[in-house]
Amino acid sequence: MTARDISFASFNLLNLQTPGEAIYGDRDGWPQEVYDRKIEFTGDMLARLSADVVGIQELWAPEALKDAIEAAGLADDFVALTPPGHPGNRIVCAAVVRSDMVVGDPEWITDFPEEMVLKSSGDDPQQSDISVNLDSFSRPVMHLRVKPHDDTPAIEVFVCHFKSRRPHQVWRERDWYDRDVHGDHSTALGYALSTIRRTAEATALRVLITKIAKDSDTPVVVLGDMNDGKASNTLNILSEQPSYLSPLSRGGGGNALYTAQTIQEYRSTRDVYYTHVFKKQRESLDHILFSEQFYDNSKKRLWAFDEMVVENDHLNRDDHKESGTNDHGVVQVNFKWKPERG
């Protein structure tokens, strides 16, 4: 790779916490021997990827991420970007970035933007009013800027982790839940609430991206565990569903995001992309999306898609707590500096 090329990865760490510290309701956390295996696995993965920018999800303790970077032998060239003063009492998004690429200070966005309003009286007479009162991300979205070379523009990078598809535990609600009334329907209600929350989070991030990307030539990349598939409404909202043009065409959506999965599929004879296994069902929950500055057929292309790699062999066994592996595949995408002529 040349100095202007760049690579990105998305890596869910499965609750990386220092040994003996609480993880949700588990007050004892990881035993030392399990922590050591997690650090070994995470370090080996970071070293094998050697991506310029790695978006991190499910980090508890910043010290643990630094231990993994040390284990990878990357401490001289890479820096861990974590929320300032984070005490390790909840999961956060973070990043491992090549030190000389970082521009300015990253930020962690908790509140939805003011433009984010989900309220409507319906668009036909048969619909009743709807209003969603969410106003913040479950896990703050990380926003950072990187610049591969003095001759390239800075890239706006977002790292996200949306609400899981696990149903909300509505039976915990005290102000409305009635077991006799709602008990038989708690699973359906919980799944609906999870979907609404994830949809709202995707929409709020889409608003933030639009404020940067629309009517501009600013490169944007989104890395994350989005807990939904490529064809889901979550990804449709984020991407704005751009058209993928034929090789002889030239276009590109000024406000759209393209998925690495789709571009890779165009280059393959079969779809073998998966990043998560649940009840033996393989699906893609982790994604890398990018603006037209990284899209091969865009008139405004600056970087060309090289390849996507998914590290997922560790998903073949459901022994993550014992082996120290994580329960998501790790996605990496490489781009070559190759501006469109003219």
Phi first, then psi, for residue 269 (nearest 5°) are -95, -5
Is the residue at 39 inside a domain? yes
Residue 135 CB-half CA count within 13 A: 2
The torsion region of residue 175 among left (phi > 0), alpha (psi -120 to 50) and beta comes to: alpha
Helices (H), 73-185: 179-182
With H, G, I as helix, E, B as strand and everything else as coil, classify residue 187.
helix
Residues pairing with 310 in the sheet = 331
| Tens of pLDDT, residues 102-147 | 999 999 999 999 999 999 998 888 989 999 999 999 999 999 999 9
pLDDT at 237: 96
Is the residue at 95 inside a domain? yes
What string of DSSP letters covers 203-253? HHHHHHHHHHHTTS---EEEEEE-SS-TTSHHHHHHH-------TT--B--
Is the residue at 239 inside a domain? yes
Is the residue at 1 inside a domain? no
With H, G, I as helix, E, B as strand and everything else as coil, classify residue 68.
helix
CA–CA separation, 100 vs 83, rounded Å? Answer: 19
Is the residue at 71 inside a domain? yes
| Tens of pLDDT, residues 18-49 | 999 999 988 889 999 999 999 999 999 999 99
Q: Which two tokens stand for residue 185?
A: 């329907």
101: containing domain:
6-165+195-337
Is the residue at 21 inside a domain? yes
| Tens of pLDDT, residues 194-208 | 999 999 999 999 999
Does this model's pTM top 0.85? My answer is: yes
pLDDT at 272: 64
Name the domain count of the chain: 1
CA–CA separation, 211 vs 121, rounded Å? Answer: 26
Backbone CA torsion sign across 134, 136, 142, 145: positive
The torsion region of residue 95 among left (phi > 0), alpha (psi -120 to 50) and beta comes to: beta
Give residue for tokens 């100095």: 3
More confident residue, 1 or 81: 81
Is the residue at 57 inside a domain? yes
CA–CA separation, 247 vs 289, rounded Å? Answer: 20
Average pLDDT over residues 159-180: 90
Is the residue at 243 inside a domain? yes
Average pLDDT over residues 76-95: 97
What CATH number did the domain enclosing 322 receive? 3.60.10.10
Average pLDDT in the chain: 92
Enumerate residues 6+ apart whose C-beta is below 8 A from 316.
none
Phi first, then psi, for residue 203 (nearest 5°) are -65, -40
Enumerate residues 6+ apart whose C-beta is below 8 A from 170.
177, 182, 186, 189, 190, 193
State the pairing for strand pair 136-146/155-161: antiparallel
Average pLDDT over residues 85-99: 96
